[in-house]
Amino acid sequence: MLRVIIGTIVAITAIVIGLYLGVVWAFIGGIIQIITEIRADNLNEVNIAWGIAKVIFASFITTIIIWPGIMLASIIAIKK
């Protein structure tokens, strides 16, 4: 029973961290970074490219964090 609770906590933590990094930091942060750089007086192409890359790879970042977390939680929950 304790393994199931710990596994659930690990899974929920992985989902929350993955969604935060993928949606808030990468997707929304990337869009804000692009808009900020376009509105700036000095255009910095590297920051614009970095913002575009963050938006493009947002789902990959989310997946790469959530998937191993859920796999670890499954291993913890079902291991006897």
Span 16-53, pLDDT tens digits: 999 999 999 999 999 999 999 999 999 899 999 999 99
Neighbour count for residue 22 (Cβ, 10 Å): 22
Q: What is the predicted pLDDT for the residue at 47?
A: 94
Q: Is the pLDDT of residue 80 over 80?
A: no
Q: Name the band, by pLDDT with cuts 50, 70 and 90, for residue 54.
A: very high
Q: Could you give the percent of the chain with pLDDT greater than 90?
A: 91
As a 3-state breakdown, the chain gives helix, strand, coil percent values, each rounded to 5, of: 90, 0, 10
**DSSP helix/strand/coil, 6:** helix
The CA–CA distances, whole Å, from 2 to 6, 39, 67 equal: 6, 53, 22
Q: What is the predicted pLDDT for the residue at 57?
A: 96
Would you kindly state where each structural domain of the chain is located, as residue ranges? 2-78
Q: Is the pLDDT of residue 79 over 90?
A: no
Neighbour count for residue 11 (Cβ, 10 Å): 19
